[in-house]
Amino acid sequence: MALSTESNPMRWPAGPLEIALREKTKGFTAEKAEVLRNWLDPASLGILQGTPVNCLVVSWASGLAADADQQKALKPLIEKGKQTGLSFVGVIENDANKAAALAAARSAGLSAVAMEGKAPADAGIPVIPRDAAAQMSWGADSRVLSISDGIWPGIPQDVNQVGGPTNLPWVDSNGAVLQIARAMAPGKGVWIEFDPPQQTTALTADAYMLGVADPASYGARWVVSLDDGLRADLSAKKQPAMDSWKKIAGMMAFFEEHKEARTYEPMGPLAVISNFAGDDWQRGEEAINLLPRIRQLYQVIARSRAEGASFEGLQAIYYIDPEAPGAALREKLIAFAKGGGILFVPSKWPNPEGPPATAEAYLLFNLHTLGKGRLAVCKEEQPDTYDSVADIQNIISHRNDQIRLYNAPSMNFFYQASPQAGNGMIQLLNYSRRPASDGPLFYVKKQHRLARLVSPELASAVELQWNPQEAGGSELPLPKISVYGAVELEN
């Protein structure tokens, strides 16, 4: 099976190279090594039957003596998998002999390899860039990119993690990275890798379901990775493990059944524009990570595409890079502000346009009147990111919020719109995996003809009732959600 943007990947740890890579790590036991041997058995592929998984990611070469043995040992698994329609991607990493590993991959009939850095021009096989997000070659000649430094989604367990000034608990999410990826590499399939946390207690099925939902809601795919205990129990066909795997696969299937949402465009009154490279990466990623926690809807625009991007419907733009934009982009940004928008720029913005305007002294930005809108120039060269986005939200104000969320401190949400029919979708993720005592409540400024909740936690879609408010807009109460749900809005 050829690799495509529709491939659903799963990490398949098996074989002598996996054992060699892990045998010196803490907690590695003979029992775990035996499970890695068991997963070489072609019969182990039986757990994939009836699931959306159609691509297995295997260790292929790492510069160890076990490389050749690994490639030989994987042969029966690969042959059997290809007969059932599976594709295989081999990971080439560390000090591997790339030329030899690529030749072996071609000979074995792998669909692709994944490796760090620039692909060799003469690879002779599709190469998936596999890098940390900040180092990713977004324009690489590959239909798929694999981000290697994803994080396990949820409420952080670190005792030093506390809620910030928003009074909402912090959540670990891959949303910011994946929104950037979508902006930087439109049309490409994006995979993201992260392993289950090492802990003494077994992970519950809903923890894995959130692992699937966090990337999938943003149009990406998690390279599914199971912990040692679950893989051992699946090998032994223990019923609790089989039940957990069914729920994990069910979450994957849900997103495949609703894959039209991948064509929807993220919407919000604020656009963040950045190059997302070098030092610009940290500034941009941190700001985008904070925006959901202050309940600010946003969209991301790559600086390289901003000249051709539409600013229609935006109330504000945050141009975050210290480097000034080119003349054409600057002219477009200034025109946006003159037309009634608010343009937020860094302190190094040369020759700020417009006369000074009155602003609260505590704000991090100096305001300038610019036509019907305003130019907001940051006062500090290296401002605190939270202070920056909080003041941006203060200046924009909540007065024109299209959507607000209540009763959901551990949840993130974002809004998307269909490019054709004008329908919308609010995606909602619960990072605590525990429903609150009351269900989530949305305020929606524009009432739609129909609103319904879809979720893998529900047997069928639930039509929601609009409660019009005297001051305008409507409230939309939802039933309790443990992991994930989406509100489909039809005009």
Report the pLDDT averaged over residues 113-130: 94
Q: For the chain, what is the domain count? A: 3
In 3D, which of 96, 133, 91 has the Cα closest to residue 112? 91
Among 369, 396, 423, identify where a domain stops: 396
pLDDT for the residue 359:
79
**Is there a domain that residue 216 lies in?**
yes
Among 202, 224, 257, identify where a domain stops: 257
Each residue of 462-478: pLDDT tens digit? 999 999 999 899 999 99
**Is there a domain that residue 307 lies in?**
yes
Q: Under the phi-then-psi rule, with left for phi > 0, alpha for psi from -120 to 50, and beta for the rest, what region is 103?
A: alpha
Distance in angstroms between the alpha carbons of the first and the last residue of the chain? 39
| Token pair for 387 | 């202070």
Report the pLDDT averaged over residues 120-138: 95
| Token pair for 1 | 């099976």
| Token pair for 252 | 């994957």
Each residue of 11-60: pLDDT tens digit? 999 999 999 999 988 889 999 999 999 999 999 999 999 999 999 999 99
pLDDT for the residue 346:
96
DSSP secondary structure of 39-99: TTSGGGGGGGTTSS--EEEEEEE-SSTHHHHHHHHTHHHHHHHHHTT-EEEEEE-TT--HH
Claim to verify: residue 182 and residue 313 sit in the same structural domain = no
SS (H, E, C) 188-240: CEEEECCCCCCCCCCCCHHHHHHHHHHHHCCCCEECECCCHHHHHHHHCCCHH
* 377 vs 422: CA distance, rounded Å: 35
**Is there a domain that residue 477 lies in?**
yes
| Token pair for 162 | 């506390």
**Is there a domain that residue 346 lies in?**
yes
In 3D, which of 122, 73, 120, 126 has the Cα closest to residue 96? 120
Claim to verify: residue 332 and residue 188 sit in the same structural domain = no
CATH code of 105's domain: 3.20.20.70
Claim to verify: residue 373 and residue 446 sit in the same structural domain = no
Claim to verify: residue 97 and residue 169 sit in the same structural domain = yes
pLDDT for the residue 159:
45
* 140 vs 475: CA distance, rounded Å: 45
Phi and psi, residue 34, nearest 5°: -65, -35
DSSP strand E in 303-446: where?
316-319, 342-345, 365-370, 373-378, 403-406, 411-417, 424-430, 441-444
**Is there a domain that residue 369 lies in?**
yes
| Token pair for 326 | 């080119």
**Is there a domain that residue 437 lies in?**
yes
- Beta bridge pairs of residue 374: 342, 369
Claim to verify: residue 55 and residue 100 sit in the same structural domain = yes
CATH code of 483's domain: 2.60.40.1180
Each residue of 403-444: pLDDT tens digit? 999 999 999 999 999 987 779 999 999 999 998 778 899 999
Claim to verify: residue 203 and residue 56 sit in the same structural domain = yes
Claim to verify: residue 408 and residue 387 sit in the same structural domain = no
Claim to verify: residue 233 and residue 327 sit in the same structural domain = no
**Is there a domain that residue 3 lies in?**
no
Range of the domain at 342: 269-396
Claim to verify: residue 84 and residue 56 sit in the same structural domain = yes
pLDDT for the residue 158:
65
pLDDT for the residue 162:
47
Each residue of 144-180: pLDDT tens digit? 999 999 999 999 976 454 445 546 889 999 999 999 9
Question: Bigger pLDDT: 212 or 166?
Answer: 212
Claim to verify: residue 96 and residue 199 sit in the same structural domain = yes
**Is there a domain that residue 2 lies in?**
no
Residue 137, pLDDT > 80, answer yes
Claim to verify: residue 292 and residue 158 sit in the same structural domain = no
Claim to verify: residue 248 and residue 310 sit in the same structural domain = no
* 329 vs 299: CA distance, rounded Å: 18
Among 257, 287, 302, identify where a domain stops: 257
* Residue 263 burial class via C-beta count within 10 angstroms: exposed 0-12, middle 13-18, buried 19 and up: exposed
